[in-house]
Amino acid sequence: MKDAVHQTFYLADYQPPAYLIEDVTLTFRLSPRATRVLSRIHFVPNPDTSDRTFFLHGEQLTLISAKIDGHEITPTLTDTGLTAEAPDAPFTWEAEVEISPETNTALEGLYMSNGMYCTQCEAEGFRKITYYPDRPDVMAPFSVRIEGEQPILLSNGNPTASGKGWAEWHDPWPKPAYLFALVAGDLRATTGSFTTRSGRDVTLNLWVRPGDEDKTAFGLQALIDSMKWDEDVYGREYDLDLFNIVAVSDFNMGAMENKGLNIFNSSAVLASPETATDANFERIEGIIAHEYFHNWTGNRITCRDWFQLCLKEGLTVFRDQQFTSDMRSASVKRISDVLMLRARQFREDAGPLAHPVRPEQFQEINNFYTATIYEKGAEVIGMLKRLVGDRDYYRALDVYFQRHDGHACTIEDWLQVFEDTTGRDLSQFKRWYSQAGTPLLHVEDSFEDGTYTLTFRQETRPTPGQPDKAPLVIPIAVGLLSPDGTEVVPTTLCEMSAATQSFTFDGLTEKPIPSILREFSAPVILTRQASNAERAFLLAHDTDPFNKWEAGRALAKDVLIHMITDGNAPDSAYLDALKAMVSDESLDPAFRALAIALPSQDDIAQTLHASGVVPDPMAIHNASKTLRQATAEHLADILPDLYAANQVHEAYQPNADQSGKRALAGAALSLIARLDGGKQAQAQYDAADNMTQQLSALSALLLADAGTDALAAFEAQWKDDRLVMDKWFSLQVMMAKPDDVADVVTRLTARPDFDMRNPNRFRAVIGALGGHLAGFHHPSGKGYELMADWLIKLDALNPQTTARMSSAFDTWKRFDEDRQQMIRAQLERIMARETLSRDTSEMVGRILA
């Protein structure tokens, strides 16, 4: 094993910066392999500390010259930065460095994508641009001059001057370096405008490469909707005259909230009906909102240090979820969010990568842009809102914006605002930020003399580094139904804080049926095994849409699990209940589409493992397939009508109404394909004029083993559209039979258009491999080996994306001895690489530990 030891950073070690910055001026002379960056920075001693160590971060920089107050100096250079003697008084720092954007394949710092220059600085990428205190608690106004031959030269803030081959920008709002951005290229704008409620006219530009102009309208409208929503709901206005969004093909994440110059992965912003699915449109709307909302929750108020990442991410995810609920269907949004939370965050929280919402240590902060910090971070805010109530929540937010505007803050600052405005003691609630692991919530009930009692017991299992857990504050929303189906107690909040706690409801005439954890009011696992009769009852009668869906899901899971563990046949009571629900036209089609979907195979593996059974991926695969086939047969007589009734006859719109219908018709189509060999799917494919229907038809055809022609036609039609081809690549892996997955991946990765430097393309294939339970965990071990091969290859180019994708292995301890041994061998092979990045080494090390 390699012996490189990487430094670990601890929250407890926080020290304020020795120097603060009054202002920064940067000049960029762009050149693919020899860009010069000149910096002029006014430093002042930080009055809050007596420390006068002058340290600037810097990595992969060639220092040309450095001056303090005009005098040339020779700083001491290290791998991570430089130190120098500095005055205990205000002074001016000037430096010139050289960097090579063209060879920067890590996509962090200044890099090139398709001939265009762009930057990514969060979290610690600015140090690859110039020497600087690259920490979020150092905030400064930036002036930037860009010299380059590209027609469009952009940076943060407002443009101040420009000429042929240069442009100057000024951002008056003090910001940390991670929000810096620069873009230079041949770009075309789609322009719009927004007038804020106090009358500021803001120009909105969505910049794309020539040829993509027809994919910008939706993103621009989403931006306008977001700006309006943040005014209406949070009272937050935009604060510059210009808001730029740029689409970039090569990007590690979804998008980035740089002040006034958001940079987007093209997959997170470009959309037209022909090229993007309904799901893509919804995701784009959510991400545009997310980045825009960061302007207040992230930029105006930022994080003191990276341990506080959830301060901006949890809150901003919560806000974008609220936005989507308002724009679309709140119950459908809640169900989708919980599906995602369980699939990604619960998985993370149950394995070797578990960490608190506010972690206390890291080696590489890029490894902490996780489902726990984002999604569980948002759940914690949702619980807080539920506990204090809507009115107090918005009052507290007003105080937060007012008290902390322009500051770099902590979770303590955030909670203090709530304590001050509501008078509540949040010390126990704060444990949600420090304690990792998903709590199990056990329930018992009893009924006597008209009083119904629910007794809850909470239990959080040990996670890495945290053997003992303390009780949390858990808001449990409960409603009670009488056996005839009427609701006798509407949704009531039970505030649990003890390890075991009872709640009583009196004045009842008969024992009610409980609907527990309505709206999924806390990110916990309810262990209660209701009878299937009770689940069927809730599926039919619950007034809470989330729990109605949940009841159906629990039924489906139970059926699948018994098929796997006891060899049962598909349960007809479940199939009857499903049939009744699917044909219930009073229910939103989008809701019905969600209810038809089976639990994911990974979800089943997770559930089996939690109940002490070693999951067999092949058995899970086969049971899911058998149940789908049985569903198709059981619903055969209603499928044609269901399909026909949910066709959209108006012009394509990616709105909630139309997309719900397409989702339900698509679900019907995939069942029909199991009965008719793909005839209906081929007809839909041939007639499709939008990507949602083209793709759902293609996937139904692949399911029926009848997709060869359509795959070829799809490729011929879309070979020049990278984003659409990503779908073509990933669908083939997703739909492959377990025995074929490795071959399909090998064939696809041998194609000249498999460009591993492009994270979207890499994820389309290798990400889909990790997501194919039975293919990845194939008994031959080929899936593991392929994954490890590709992670090793990519690590040399792009550590950040490699490290993220290594989490494909994080469930390895669920599986049998043979599989564990094969996975361990692959993980050790990765670890043994001489030049493994810090990112991947930390991740694989944690997975192995």
Interface contacts to ligand PHE, rule CB under 6 A? 120, 122-123, 253, 255-257, 290-291, 313, 369
> Binding partner of residue 9 among Zn ion, ligand PHE, none, CB under 5 to 8 Å per kind?
none
Q: How many angstroms separate the CA atoms of 94 and 40, rounded?
A: 4
Question: Which of Zn ion, ligand PHE, none lies near 253, with the C-beta cut-off 5 to 8 A by kind?
Answer: ligand PHE
Cα 381 to Cα 557: distance, rounded to the nearest angstrom: 29
Q: In the numeric block, which tokens belong to residue 128?
A: 């690859």
User: Residue 487: how many CB atoms within 10 A of its CB?
Assistant: 16
Rounded to a whole number of angstroms, the minimum distance from the CB of residue 177 to ligand PHE is 13
Query: Which residue's CB is nearer to ligand PHE, number 190 or number 366?
Result: 366
Nearest approach, Cβ of residue 45 and ligand PHE (Å) = 31
- Min dist CB 355 to Zn ion, Å, is 18
Q: Which is nearer to Zn ion, 244 or 258 (CB)?
A: 258
Residue 518 phi, psi (nearest 5):
-60, 150
Q: What are the tokens at 270?
A: 């470009």
Check: CB of residue 673 under 8 Å from CB of residue 704. yes
Half-sphere exposure of 665 (CA within 13 A, CB side): 24
- Give least dist CB 371 to ligand PHE, A: 12
Count the Cβ atoms, other than its own, within 10 Å of residue 649.
4
Measured from the CB atom, is 107 or 525 closer to ligand PHE?
Answer: 107
Eight-class DSSP state of 438: P
Q: Which of 157, 175, 168, 170 is nearest to 238 (CA)?
A: 157
Residues in 318-377 at the binding interface with Zn ion, rule: CB under 5 A = none
Q: Rounded to 5 degrees, what are φ and ψ at 104?
A: -85, 90
| Residue that is written with structure tokens 């996937």 in the block | 699
**What's the per-residue H, E or C state across 102-149?**
HHCCCCCEEEEECCEEEEECCCCCHHHCCCECCCCCCCEEEEEEEECC
Q: Using CB distances below 5 to 8 A depending on partner kind, what does residue 255 bind out of ligand PHE, Zn ion, none?
A: ligand PHE
Is the Cβ of residue 139 or residue 253 nearer to ligand PHE in the bound state?
A: 253
Please give the single-letter amino acid code of residue 335.
Answer: I
Residue nearer to ligand PHE on the CB measure, 291 or 364? 291
Shortest spacing between CB 257 and ligand PHE, in angstroms: 5
Min dist CB 284 to Zn ion, Å, is 15
- Residues facing 245 on adjacent strands: 206, 262
Task: Tell me which of Zn ion, ligand PHE, none is bound by residue 369, counting a contact when its beta carbon lies within the kind-specific cut-off of 5 to 8 angstroms.
Answer: ligand PHE
Q: Which is nearer to ligand PHE, 380 or 735 (CB)?
A: 380
φ/ψ of residue 441, rounded to 5 = -115, 110
Q: Determine the residue with CB nearest ligand PHE.
A: 253
Length of the chain in residues, anyone? 849
- Dist CA 197 CA 235 (whole Å): 9
* 8 A C-beta contact, residue 190 and residue 206: yes
Shortest Å distance, C-beta 128 to ligand PHE: 13
Closest CA to 102 of 208, 31, 152, 183: 31
Q: Taking the complex as a whole, how short is the minimal distance between the CB of residue 313 and ligand PHE, in angstroms?
A: 6
120 vs 416, beta carbon nearer ligand PHE: 120
**Shortest Cβ distance from residue 290 to ligand PHE (Å)?**
6
Residue 250, binding choice from Zn ion, ligand PHE, none, Cβ under 5 to 8 Å by partner class: none
Site string for Zn ion, 308-327 (x = CB under 5 A): -----x--x-----------
- Both structure tokens of 796: 């040399």
Question: Active-site residue among 168, 285, 291, 375?
Answer: 291
Look up residue 294 and give its two tokens. Answer: 């960061």
**Minimum CB distance to Zn ion smaller for 313 or for 550:** 313
CA 367/CA 577 separation, integer angstroms: 43
- Cβ neighbors of 148 (< 8 A, separation 6 or more) are 28, 29, 30, 117, 165, 166, 184
Q: With contacts defined by CB under 5 A, how many residues of the chain interact with Zn ion? A: 2
E strand or H helix at 796, and its extent?
none
Q: What 3-state class would DSSP assign to 97?
A: strand
Stretch that binds Zn ion, among 305-313, 354-362, 390-398, 828-836 (CB under 5 A): 305-313
HSE (CB half, 13 Å, CA atoms) of 659? Answer: 20
Q: What distances in angstroms separate CA 541 from CA 516, 538, 548, 552, one per listed residue?
A: 14, 5, 7, 12
* 168 assigned to active site: no
Nearer to ligand PHE, 21 or 255 (CB): 255
Point out which residues bind Zn ion (CB under 5 A): 313, 316
Catalytic positions:
291
